[in-house]
């Protein structure tokens, strides 16, 4: 710190917030000007010190926007000074366009109170600690959502699909995320997946006690693998408590867009969405996440999957899969796919039934519904998801280091497991696999555990009498959503929240014109389709549903992933998982 000047009164400022630290520093860039820095529990105020008081410019940084602060020695041995840098991601107006997005700002100060470099470093560390701690305590207030904090220091296992999106997830990681994690002092191990289901197998076998969070950098498909890998474990009940994080690196980044939306932020896409989700990850607030159990009745063996986002049949499912060939355009592939499918609009026949949320609530005390054997036979002794306590801090989790096959030091605090040797081969395999002929996702092992589906009866029995059976049998689409966004720019279920315990069921009846359907999709950008009073669109909040397509062949997607085609039923399990979001 440069020579002290008249310190302000270290008691109350504006009668609100107490000044915890005050100091005067130069910056890393220039020692010509000095700045007065004062830290309260809410913000860091920086003011240039000039002889003319009128010329003093004051900048206030809200600690809610701060991901961390680090102290370090000078690179130059002859410099006795030490430094601390605080990293902020405030919303700023975009360059050359409307709207705001989180943008990085670094504030770096030089501490040179005396000639002893150790004392200077200690002072810089004192500031870095104080700023980091105050930032960690600045959490958003959201009505009705209970957040806990991820354990700190937080050890993260980061799983990245190098082929997701336009195939740039790794460069997006090194270009944006790596630096943010370093700024927030979050040690992480990066595993680049080698093939489909690699992440699923990895988390199925992992020693989770070594990790505080499992973070996915990809589209929704990789998180689908991770959720199902966790639910396939003997210890699923504890495993699924591991906080999950999502960083959008894919083309279908619906959950990432949803958590950005839940944070109350204006819509953004691509790299701005990545920065926003990276920021939320660094803040480390954990919310509860609903999961829906999806039972597929198709031969030869009924399967049960866990889904965090959506179940789709008809138009949306077809676009999901057909748009694979437009992957090179990134998230815009869904827009292109939608236009193409509109041109060849078709009708899908089947039977749809659901349990309305109000009916389920009224009947929740009744126990006369026999549970579905496909799911309950192996889970009869496990308690329901609703019995989970809401933890106030993360439970210990870990990961077996033997699973990290090749590891090289990339930057402090980061292990990298690259598997570039077969990058090209797997890339080709990927294209083939993700094309039109992609085989349905066949899990090596269906989830053994999971809570029983108390609202479902076996698929070969009629639905319970309190269910609503839809009279129509000709549909353009059936879409069940449990998060707000279907893709980065489609707000299919604007009312949905992370843990509302609801399936937001939409169906569009046959007979809708192409023009009206297009208008609905355009309105969906703002979630306005729900209020469009379209007689062909039906929206119901439900707890369970059953869909029985009549055709022998077709497409059903779960979280955007292709699953075995045939009769399917699903039930939501409120707050089963945990997600880093705010
Ligand atoms: P996108 O949104 O771009 O489609 P996803 O995360 O949904 O990205 O991933 C697409 C598919 O790739 C998913 O089915 C996922 O299981 C699969 N996958 C994950 N890792 C790999 C890999 N290394 N090679 C090929 N496919 C992979
Ligand atoms: Mg929901």
Residue-wise DSSP of 317-331: HHHHHHGGGGGGGGG
In a domain, 342, yes or no: yes
In a domain, 36, yes or no: yes
What is the helix (H) or strand (E) element at residue 520, kind and residue range? helix 514-524
Instruction: Spell out which residues have Cβ within 5 A of ligand 2, the ion.
Output: 482, 496, 500
CB of 196 sitting under 6 A from ligand 1: yes
Q: What is the pLDDT of residue 54?
A: 64
What confidence tens digit (pLDDT) does each residue in 429-465 have?
333 334 334 444 434 344 567 999 999 999 999 999 9
| 78 plus 173 within the same structural domain | no
| 241 plus 285 within the same structural domain | yes
Of 75, 102, 136, the position where a domain reaches its end is 136
Distance 460 CA to ligand 2 centre (A): 28
In a domain, 579, yes or no: no
Total domains present in the chain: 3
Of 108, 136, 164, the position where a domain reaches its end is 136
In a domain, 141, yes or no: no
Q: How far apart are CA 503 and CA 456, in angstroms?
A: 14
| 284 plus 318 within the same structural domain | no
Q: Which residues, at least 6 apart from 136, have a Cβ–Cβ distance to it below 8 Å?
A: 149, 152, 284
CATH of residue 388's domain is 2.60.200.40
Sequence-distant contacts of 114-122: CB under 8 A, at least 24 apart: 114/80, 115/80, 116/80, 117/73, 117/74, 117/80, 117/81, 117/82, 120/1, 120/80, 120/81, 120/82, 121/71, 121/73, 121/82
Pairing of the two strands 213-218 and 244-248: parallel
Q: What is the pLDDT of residue 408?
A: 33
CATH of residue 49's domain is 2.30.29.30
In a domain, 142, yes or no: no
| 386 plus 280 within the same structural domain | no
In a domain, 431, yes or no: no
| 366 plus 481 within the same structural domain | yes
CATH of residue 205's domain is 3.40.50.10330
Q: What is the pLDDT of residue 432?
A: 37
- Residue 466 is a catalytic residue: no
Distance 199 CA to ligand 1 centre (A): 10
CB of 220 sitting under 6 A from ligand 1: yes
Of 419, 452, 480, the position where a domain reaches its end is 419
Q: What is the pLDDT of residue 140?
A: 62
Stretches where the chain sits below pLDDT 50 are: 1-13, 367-446
- Choose the residue to mutate in 192, 218, 273 for probing ligand 1, maximizing ligand atoms within 8 Å of C-beta: 218
Index of the ligand 1 atom closest to the CA of residue 252: 2
| 179 plus 270 within the same structural domain | yes
Q: Which of 65, 220, 290, 559 is catalytic?
A: 220
| 234 plus 348 within the same structural domain | no
In a domain, 508, yes or no: yes
Q: Which residues pair with 110 in a beta bridge?
A: 26, 83
| 445 plus 389 within the same structural domain | yes
Pick from 114, 85, 104: which is nearest to 27 by CA? 85
Half-sphere CA count of 437, side-chain side, radius 13 A: 4
| 75 plus 188 within the same structural domain | no
Paired tokens of 284:
């480390």
Look up the domain containing 170 and give its range: 156-290+402-419
What is the helix (H) or strand (E) element at residue 404, kind and residue range? none
Paired tokens of 546:
């059953």
Q: How far apart are CA 477 and CA 543, in angstroms?
A: 19
| 387 plus 528 within the same structural domain | yes
| 242 plus 310 within the same structural domain | no
In a domain, 131, yes or no: yes
| 282 plus 178 within the same structural domain | yes
The SS3 call for residue 494 is: coil
CB of 228 sitting under 6 A from ligand 1: no
Distance 483 CA to ligand 2 centre (A): 5
């Amino acid at each position: 710190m440069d020579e002290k000047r008249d310190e302000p009164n270290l008691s109350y400022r504006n009668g609100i917030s107490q000044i915890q630290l005050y100091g005067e520093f130069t910056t890393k860039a220039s020692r010509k000007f000095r700045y007065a820095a004062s830290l309260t529990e809410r913000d860091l105020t920086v003011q240039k010190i000039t002889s003319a008081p009128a010329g003093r410019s004051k900048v206030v940084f809200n600690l809610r926007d701060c991901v961390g602060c680090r102290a370090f020695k000078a690179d130059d041995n002859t410099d006795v000074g030490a430094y601390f840098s605080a990293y902020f991601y405030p919303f700023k107006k975009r360059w050359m366009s409307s709207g705001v997005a989180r943008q990085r700002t670094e504030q770096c100060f030089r501490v040179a109170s005396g000639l002893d470099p150790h004392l200077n470093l200690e002072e810089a560390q004192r500031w870095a600690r104080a700023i980091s701690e105050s930032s960690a305590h600045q959490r958003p207030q959201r009505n009705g959502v209970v957040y806990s904090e991820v354990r700190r220091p937080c050890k993260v296992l980061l799983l990245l699909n190098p082929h997701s999106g336009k195939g740039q997830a790794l460069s997006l990681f090194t270009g944006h995320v790596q630096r943010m994690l370093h700024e927030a002092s979050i040690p992480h191990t990066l595993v680049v997946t080698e093939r489909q289901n690699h992440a699923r197998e990895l988390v199925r076998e992992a020693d989770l006690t070594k990790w505080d969070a499992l973070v996915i950098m990809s589209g929704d498909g990789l998180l689908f693998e991770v959720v199902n890998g966790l639910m396939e474990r003997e210890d699923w009940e504890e495993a699924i408590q591991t906080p999950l994080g999502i960083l959008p690196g894919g083309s279908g980044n619906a959950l990432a867009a949803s958590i950005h939306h839940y944070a109350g932020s204006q819509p953004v896409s691509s790299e701005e969405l990545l920065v926003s989700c990276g920021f939320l990850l660094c803040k480390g607030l954990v919310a509860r996440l609903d999961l829906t159990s999806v039972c597929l009745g198709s031969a030869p063996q009924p399967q049960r999957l866990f889904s965090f986002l959506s179940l789709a049949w008809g138009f949306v499912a077809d676009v999901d899969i057909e748009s694979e060939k437009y992957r090179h355009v990134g998230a815009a592939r869904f827009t292109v796919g939608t236009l193409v499918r509109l041109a060849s609009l078709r009708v899908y026949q089947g039977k749809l039934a659901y349990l309305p949320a109000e009916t389920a609530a009224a009947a929740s005390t009744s126990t006369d519904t026999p549970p579905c054997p496909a799911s309950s036979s192996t889970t009869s002794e496990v308690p329901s998801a609703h019995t989970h306590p809401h933890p106030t801090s993360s439970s210990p989790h870990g990961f077996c280091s033997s699973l990290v096959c090749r590891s090289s030091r990339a930057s402090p605090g980061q292990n990298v497991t690259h598997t570039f040797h077969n990058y090209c081969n797997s890339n080709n395999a990927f294209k083939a696999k993700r094309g039109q002929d992609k085989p349905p996702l066949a899990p090596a092992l269906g989830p053994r555990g999971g809570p029983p589906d108390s609202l479902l009866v076996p698929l070969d029995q009629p639905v319970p009498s309190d269910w609503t059976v839809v009279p129509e049998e000709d549909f353009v689409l059936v879409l069940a959503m449990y998060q707000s966004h279907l893709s980065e720019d489609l707000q299919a279920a604007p009312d949905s929240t992370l843990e509302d315990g609801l399936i937001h069921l939409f169906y569009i009846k046959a007979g809708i014109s192409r023009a009206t359907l297009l208008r609905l999709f355009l309105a969906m950008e703002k979630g306005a389709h729900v209020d469009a009073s379209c007689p062909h669109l039906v929206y119901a909040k439900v707890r369970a549903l059953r869909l029985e397509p009549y055709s022998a062949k077709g497409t059903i997607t779960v979280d955007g992933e292709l699953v075995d085609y045939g009769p399917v039923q699903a039930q939501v399990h409120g707050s089963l998982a945990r997600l880093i979001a705010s």
